[in-house]
Amino acid sequence: MTEFSTRRRSALEVFVCLCLVSLAYSFNIDLQHPVVFRGPDATFFGYSVLEHVHDNTRWIVVGAPRANSSFSSSVQSPGAVYKCRIRNNPEQRCTEMDLGRGQRESCGKTCQGDRNDEWMGVSLARQDKPNGKILACAHRWKNVYYESEYILPHGYCSVIPATLQGKSQPLIPCYEDHKKTYGEEHGSCQAGIAGVFTEELVIMGAPGSYYWTGTVKVFNMTSNTHYNLNQDNLSPRRYSYLGYAVTAGHFSSPNTIDVAAGAPQDSGVGKVSGFLQNLHHWFQMGSYFGSSLCAVDLNADGLSDLLVGAPMHSEIRDEGQVSVYLSSGNGVMEEVAILKGDNAYNAHFGECITSLGDIDEDGYQDVAIGAPKEDDYGGAVYIYHGDATVIVKKYSMRLSGRSINPTLQMFGQSISGNVDMDGNGYPALTLFAVACDRSRPVISVDISIFLPVSINITVPQCHEGPPHLNCFNVTVCMSFRGKHVPGHIELLYNLTADSDKRHKGLPPRVYFGNGGEQTVAVSQHFSLEINRQQCHQYTSFVRKEVKDVFAAIVFEAAYSLGKHFVDGHQDRDLPSLTPVLRWKKGEKIAAKNETWFEKNCLSEDCAADLSPWSSPGFMRNVSLNLTISNAGDDAYDTNIYFNFSREVHYINFLQREEKGISCMLVELDFLKCSIGFPFMRAQTKYHLSVLFDTSRLSGENETLLFLVHARSANPEHDSTLHDNTLELSIPLVHEVDTAITGVVSPTSFVYGNSVDRSRFVQLDDMECSFQPLNFTFQVINNGPSRLPGSTVDIRIPNRLAGNGADMFHIIDTQVSEGRGNCTRHRNPKPCTIPQDKESIFHTIFAFFTKSGRKVLDCDRPGRACLTISCSLSSQAKEEATSIDVRMLLNTEILQRDSSSVIQFVTRGHVQLDDRAVEVSTGLPEEISLVFEALHSQEPRGYVVGWIIAISLLVGILIFLLLAVLLWKMGFFRRHYREIIEAEKNRKDSDESWDWVQKSQ
């Protein structure tokens, strides 16, 4: 069971002081006059501490569980309990108490005590009544009667008389005659590791019983009887360590004492059990939930609430935390808060929890929580205050061990409180160190701020200062009350005008005139005796052009404590302590009062009835012509708010007549116009025009929206609020200049029977040869606005004749970046071959009759075309969107045409969205793409042979026909010789000069 000692507290060489505090959040624990006690080295002096009062003599009782006892010199380190007197002890000595025990104690038929290393002083408790007795325990006390078989660590406690003298009453609650087995029942119970002393009950934790399942031992001082908790109601799990911590309180009813015990190892997470509902928690494994307990009535309802420590609860490592449970009676507990201190690394916050009593005199009990390993084992103690909601979750004070002594360790391992140690009427705080800190007197300050009932700003008048201003008097009075506050004190204060406006960062409406300078705050002090009041008076001025006349004008006086002056003789041992102001539980220490501006209202609630309406004017700019009417009382601080697009820019405003209207651009899209000063009169109408520049609209939105809202500082009835807001929506038309460009690839190709089929594309299971074609169209928005959307129609001539087969097969259509989609036209029969068979004569005829160029254009009437329609999304100015179309052309159909060249004219056209208009002088919205199909002129081989044969045959036939004709005409019957001779003779005759005609 050594584990209990080493895990519970790693005590080092320590000393005691009455009570030290760090500088953080110090409240009424005195930092300047601690009472410090020191004990022997290496004794764990201060491992437990207890405040005690008897016959007006105040003591600090200190446990030193590793000390050698001067009254039992032959016993090895049994531990000792020391008493330290507070007054009349200039050397601050502590003396060991004689508990009247020997080395080996006979305690029963089969009991023989062994005090070696028994750890006397491991826990201390005080009887809960005036002049109560003291309980001191040694949980490692052993019964060695069966030393040859078992050493039984029963544990031992002493009930010490209130005088701290005389023979103490021994308690060995776990001993039973003839029981000798270690671990079984109470053989190793180690009673006294924790203890509580009520008016008649001594309650001792025994975590080693039943194989470390644990239990609680109770001794009744009145009936002198022992009894246990009902084990059937407790955890059956071994190694739960029930009784590691114990407490007692009025959990069921204000007149009943109930016991609660912690079992920090139950199921590995911890539990609290006893005469109340079992408290479990969602803590992770090893958090040691239940290792410290404190019953205290935090909310003054007569029922004890419960604080449960889990010092090894971890977010990073062993920060620790404390759960606060509110008691509802009949043992029903509800978790209402989790306390974590500063949530410091390895702090073990919650290792010790102690009730302090009402240290701030607010009617609610307060508690101290130790974090002994915080600040690298320096330790800290946190002070929390009870209130009507159970507990204030923010601590008021942090006491640091390092502030006492830089070498101090494990400060806050043990704490004691709830006893007035110096007679000043306030409980003190004793801490493991050991230190006893006295509580300083708490004073309550009564402060009043006197103001006029109201201020009339419509009639400027001031008896002090400029006559055109309004002014009024402000008076501050202060006094204080408390207990044991001799002499007089200084109270410092800072008076702030219109404090609510100043806290919000707004300009205050009133100010103080201080030597000709304007200031919103003045600082002064009072020197007061208890229950004596003093006053100061100031003049405050109202600023010009105050617009907010409905909000209260709040004056705030924040105050603090100055010096404390004490007259007469001071107590040498315990001098008077400087008082502190009552803690406001996290609130600002200040007082407030308020006044109002007078308002000229006919109705009881001074309700206005504002109603704006507007008619827009259109140019390249927009003019909002606004009329605002007030059908109710005078409207104070009347404003019109305009919300609009950041693409619209405010230019100026115009008013028909001077009505005190002013406009201010608060943000780029927010305009505020103030209507009248200081108010807009009842039953009136004001007119103004607000001009906006719209030249920079991007066109991202379809409408231009203006939200107009009228509001005043007056209340307004719900029935009239509907017309305070006006929404103007102006449709926008997008002015754009679109253009379309495109390319086709290839621009020409050759087809025909003589062309190698490998130059074309063949589809699976199809005999046709296809020519691939790629079209790219690009739609460009040249602005000046955004194009909200458009449709591109692409038309391609698809047939040679009106009733012919479709030539094109679309493979894919894509719009760049997915910014649109195109309709897909699927050709169900992409491979169509004409069914008529060619004869040799048809082929020869076609060769000799082939025409020139044929043009296929969708703009020509009667032409069958394929149309691809693409819907495009919006385009910003200067943005382009591309459309890619991949298709195949069936060349088998082309080969049935007799043209040498077939020219295809493909047309693309852009159609704008209804929300856009085209610039009249812009670029064209159409484009034509042309590609040509060239028919190869070379006929097939067998056709060439037939052409030659037929040509020879035709030539022979023509020759024969000519010969017959010549024969028929007598060509072959003429006398050619006579004719030749006659012709010769004629020529000879022509050469003679004597020519005579022969016929004569």
- The CATH number given to whatever domain includes residue 176 is 2.130.10.130
In this prediction, residue 431 has a pLDDT band, given cuts at 50, 70 and 90, of: low
Let me know whether 563 and 664 are in one domain: no
Q: What is the pLDDT of residues 783-794, one digit of tens each?
A: 777 888 899 999
**Most confidently predicted of 180-184, 307-311, 562-566, 700-704:** 307-311
Average pLDDT, rounded, for the chain: 81
The answer on 790 and 705 residing in a single domain is: no
326 vs 995, higher pLDDT: 326
Q: CB neighbours of 769 closer than 8 A, spacing ≥ 6? A: 751, 757, 760, 761, 762, 890, 891, 892
Higher local confidence (pLDDT), 988 or 822: 822
Residue 274, Ramachandran bin (φ over 0: left; ψ between -120 and 50: alpha; else beta): left
> CA–CA distance from 929 to each of 57, 223, 794, 906 (Å)?
116, 117, 10, 5
Residue ending a domain, among 202, 221, 243, is 243
Provide the domain count of the chain: 4
715, 860: one domain: no
Quote the CA–CA distance of 190 and 186 in Å, as a whole number.
8
Kindly state the average pLDDT of the residues 731-751: 86
What local confidence, expressed as pLDDT, does residue 432 receive? Answer: 53
* DSSP run (H or E) holding 684: strand 684-693
pLDDT of residue 276: 56
Burial of 689-726, coded b for 16+ CB within 10 Å and e otherwise, reads: bbbbebeebebeeeebebebebbbbbebeeeeeeebeb
Q: Which pLDDT does position 299 carry in this prediction?
A: 93
pLDDT digits (tens, 9 = 90+) for 346-365: 999 999 999 988 887 788 99
Q: Considering the domain boundaries, does residue 359 fall inside one?
A: no
- Tell me: the pLDDT tens digits for 763-810? 877 778 888 999 999 999 887 778 888 999 999 888 887 777 888 888
Last residue of a domain, one of 187, 221, 243: 243
Assigned domain for 280 exists: no
In a domain, 98, yes or no: yes
Length of the chain: 1000
Q: Any idea what DSSP says for residue 576?
A: P
Whole-structure pTM over 0.95, yes or no?
no
Read off the CATH number of the domain in which 692 is found. 2.60.40.1510
Read off the CATH number of the domain in which 484 is found.
2.60.40.1460
Give the pLDDT band of residue 337 (cuts 50, 70, 90).
Answer: very high
| Contact in structure between 446 and 429 (CB atoms under 8 Å) | no
pLDDT above 60 for 382? yes
State the CATH number of the domain containing residue 888.
2.60.40.1530
- % residues pLDDT > 70 (the chain): 82
pLDDT of 815 reads 92
Whether residue 742 sits in one domain with residue 687: no
Phi and psi dihedrals of 976, rounded to 5?
Answer: -75, -30
Together in a domain, 72 and 175: yes
First-residue to last-residue Cα distance in the chain: 184
Asked whether residue 418 is domain-assigned, the answer is no
Contacts of 954 (CB under 8 A, 6+ apart): none
Contact 247, 289 (CB under 8 A): no
Answer yes or no: do 763 and 869 share one domain.
Answer: yes
Compute the distance between CA of residue 628 and CA of residue 641 in angstroms, rounded to an integer. 12
Whether residue 884 is contained in a domain is answered as yes
740 and 727 co-located in one domain: no
Domain-embedded: residue 279: no
> Does residue 342 lie in a domain region?
no
Kindly state the helix (H) or strand (E) to which residue 904 belongs, with its residue range.
Answer: strand 899-912
CA–CA separation, 360 vs 963, rounded Å? 153
Q: Which domain holds residue 485?
A: 442-567+577-597
Identify whether residues 78 and 218 lie together within a single domain.
yes
Which pLDDT does position 851 carry in this prediction?
60
Domain shared by 726 and 801, yes or no:
no
Both tokens assigned to 508: 């205050």
pLDDT tens track for 29-54 = 555 566 778 888 889 998 999 989 98
Same domain, 776 and 679: no
Q: Which of 76, 58, 80, 57 is nearest to 67 (CA)?
A: 80
Query: Which H or E run contains 943?
Result: helix 941-968
Cβ-contact 73, 58 below 8 angstroms: no
The reply to whether 653 and 748 lie within a common domain is no
> pLDDT per residue over 865-899, tens digit each?
888 999 998 888 888 999 999 988 888 888 777 78
Mean pLDDT in residue range 645-672: 85
Closest CA to 474 of 542, 532, 527: 542
Q: Are 614 and 728 in contact (CB under 8 A)?
A: yes
Q: Assess whether the previous peptide bond of 690 is cis (omega < 30° from 0).
A: no
Q: Which of 243, 269, 295 is the endpoint of a domain?
A: 243
Whether 372 is in a domain gets the answer no
Residues 672 and 621 in one domain: yes
